[in-house]
Amino acid sequence: MIYIDEKTTAKYLNITNCVKSIQKMYKIMQTKDYAMGGKNANSHGMRISFPRDKHTNNTFIAMPGFLGGEYQVAGLKWHGPNIRGSTRGTTNYTLILNKPNTGAPIAFFEANLLTSYRTAALSLYATTLLKQAQTINKVGLIGGGEIHTIFLQGLLELYPNINLIKIKSKTESGANKFISYFKKFKFRFEICKNVNAVLDDSDLISVNPGFDFDSLSQMPLLRTKYLKENALVLCLSYAKFSDEFLINGAIKVADNFAMYESYLAEFGYPVYPKFSSLGSRFIDLVYDRRVKPGEIVDIVDILNNTKNEILTKNKPVVFASGGMITENIAVACDLLKEIKIK
């Protein structure tokens, strides 16, 4: 078995190759040659919680899966303790790849950086499906951090017409630190004091404020009156919109809607107050019969050229991303191949 540490991952991983891995993964998901956990084989993962001290719980999440096609690999990502308010380094991700017919281990990864790359790569791949290159000039980022740093690096490669980046971070120092990674580029940065300024006139908005909210009322509301008609909003973590907008004013796209159906079975209705990703709100609205299941567009629907009548409407597009083990398997397998070659 091969052991891949974070230092090795940082040396060989690049965002362009990760986007290609995600693209190949979805081609395989088109054929349904994959499996995740849960009764519908599309669960995000299973969680356990246990006391850390008198005030705090540790929560670990296990994400088993299989990805067929050219990969033919089973895998398990395991991460914890996922403490609310924790900083990088206090939660760790590990990934093991196994041969599917024997269970023999192939490789073990320290997977913090790999997880950040695959999250950014999924957003970039979705962007290529939902936005033409010439239509992205102004970009808004809600949240700084590692994932958005990687995401923006990839976005600038794919969309050379970008001339303005607007960012709202938790602190101004955090925003300035983020900006410092991009000094060599000639476009303009604008630090915004509120979310509305980020949304205003942006062609693409990426939302990644994290998961550290005690209630829905603490989450930033994305007020849709500030969104351009054909804006694309990528939601990588917790996100909040008005129901009126989601029901009538938005094109709703998901990385894998079956995963949110699994959330409903696992968490019970309503899902959104318990796990406040955008996909959770999608499934609650479907359960309430305020949105029809057919109104949700999956990435696989786009690849199959179905639901085009929805995608061609002149409305903002909101994309729900929840994270799948199949992404980790694809990126890790291609990374392992790259390491072996070099």
Q: What is the pLDDT of residues 38-52, one digit of tens each?
A: 999 999 999 999 999
What is the tens place of the pLDDT at every residue in 52-89? 988 888 999 999 999 999 999 999 999 999 876 555 55
Would you state the structure tokens that stand for residue 108, as one six-digit string?
């073990």
pLDDT above 90 covers what percent of the chain?
Answer: 83
Q: Which stretch of 121-135, 192-206, 213-227, 300-314 has the lowest confidence by average pLDDT?
A: 213-227
- Domain ranges in the chain are 2-115+326-341, 130-322
Which pLDDT does position 92 carry in this prediction?
Answer: 95
Please write down the long-range contacts of 200-203, taking CB distance under 8 Å and 24 or more positions apart: 200/226, 201/138, 201/228, 202/138, 202/139, 202/140, 202/166, 202/228, 202/231, 203/131, 203/135, 203/136, 203/137, 203/138, 203/139, 203/228, 203/230, 203/231, 203/232
Strand partners, 189: 165
Which pLDDT does position 187 carry in this prediction?
Answer: 86
What is the tens place of the pLDDT at every residue in 237-291? 888 999 999 999 999 999 999 999 999 999 999 999 998 899 999 999 999 999 9
pLDDT above 70 covers what percent of the chain?
Answer: 95
What is the tens place of the pLDDT at every residue in 162-191? 999 999 998 899 999 999 999 888 889 999
Question: In a 10 Å sphere around its CB, with 0-12 CB exposed, 13-18 middle and 19+ buried, how is residue 7 labelled?
Answer: exposed
Whole-number Å distance between alpha carbons of 139 and 208: 14
Model confidence at 220, in pLDDT bands (50, 70, 90)?
confident
What mean pLDDT value characterizes the chain?
93
Whole-number Å distance between alpha carbons of 22 and 322: 14
Cβ-proximal residues to 121 (8 Å cutoff; 6+ apart), any chain: 15, 18, 19, 21, 22, 154, 327, 331
Which pLDDT does position 204 carry in this prediction?
Answer: 98
Which pLDDT does position 111 carry in this prediction?
Answer: 98
Indicate the pTM of the whole model.
0.94
